[in-house]
Amino acid sequence: MYDRDYLMRLINQTSVMLARIMGLKEQQKPEQALEEIDEFLGKELRMRARLALGLSDSDLIGMLSVGGVPNPEMIGTLAAFLHEEGDLLRESGRANDSLPRYEKSFRLIVHVLATNGPIDGLKLEERAETLLAKLAPYEAASPTKRAAWSWLELSGKYADAENALYELFELKAVTSEEGNAFYDRLSELADETLAAGGLPRAELDDGREQWNLLAGETAS
């Protein structure tokens, strides 16, 4: 495992660099900001954005693991800078280059939040919401849609999460067992919690019934 002092230093250095990038944005120096991000990732994570984008999520997470255990601080740091790169490219008129970074960043952030929870200094929950909004006008890849489904459930937006489940079903990107597990998890929540998430228990029960019908028709 990585030494705790190293991880604390990484987060501190990340916070300093994020502030530096914000300053360069305000000075309208996007190319310099992109160069400094690339240098930082190479030095601190031995990783470049181009390499990260070329790897599958599982391979990338594997590279940011120690003894087979994913390191949430390192993954979160990479995700934060992919988000920043995406913003810089978008502001420079290179939206096509920004979107892959937004999608990769979003999926990594959701992975960290789902498996570890928030990390001080990285504002991962805020980034997840921001990225979800930025990706909304575009047709995201199925893995990104799955991450959005997970995030909506994690953030307590249960009606939206149910809608995301059915969208994934139409794309054949979710199994009947995963849908059943989703309804099982939500059924264990208090009525007040469900209602706050836009999915009162009566609607949840109706949704489960509809899911069982659809999943049953698909299975047959």
Q: What is the pLDDT of residue 218?
A: 59
Per-residue pLDDT in tens (0 to 9) along the chain, 220 residues: 457 788 889 999 999 999 999 999 999 999 999 999 999 999 999 998 889 999 999 999 999 988 888 999 999 999 999 999 999 999 999 989 999 999 999 999 999 999 999 998 899 999 999 999 999 999 999 999 999 999 999 999 999 999 999 999 999 999 999 999 999 999 999 999 999 999 999 999 999 999 999 887 654 4
Q: What is the pLDDT of residue 7?
A: 83
The crossing angle, in degrees rounded to 10, of helices 201-219 and 176-187 is 160
Q: What is the pLDDT of residue 148?
A: 98
Q: What is the pLDDT of residue 217?
A: 60
- Characterise 55 by phi-psi region: left (phi > 0), alpha (psi -120 to 50), beta (else): beta
Annotated domain spans of the chain: 1-138, 156-220
Rounded distance between C-alpha atoms, residue 95 and residue 24, angstroms: 19
Rounded distance between C-alpha atoms, residue 57 and residue 186, angstroms: 27
Q: What is the pLDDT of residue 6?
A: 82
Rounded distance between C-alpha atoms, residue 94 and residue 207, angstroms: 41
- Tokens 């079903």 correspond to 169
Q: What is the pLDDT of residue 220?
A: 42
Q: Which of 113, 47, 101 is nearest to 76 (CA)?
A: 113
Q: What is the pLDDT of residue 168?
A: 97
Q: What is the pLDDT of residue 104?
A: 98
Strand partners, 70: 65
Rounded distance between C-alpha atoms, residue 40 and residue 76, angstroms: 14
Distance linking the first and last C-alpha atoms of the chain: 47
Rg (CA), the chain: 19
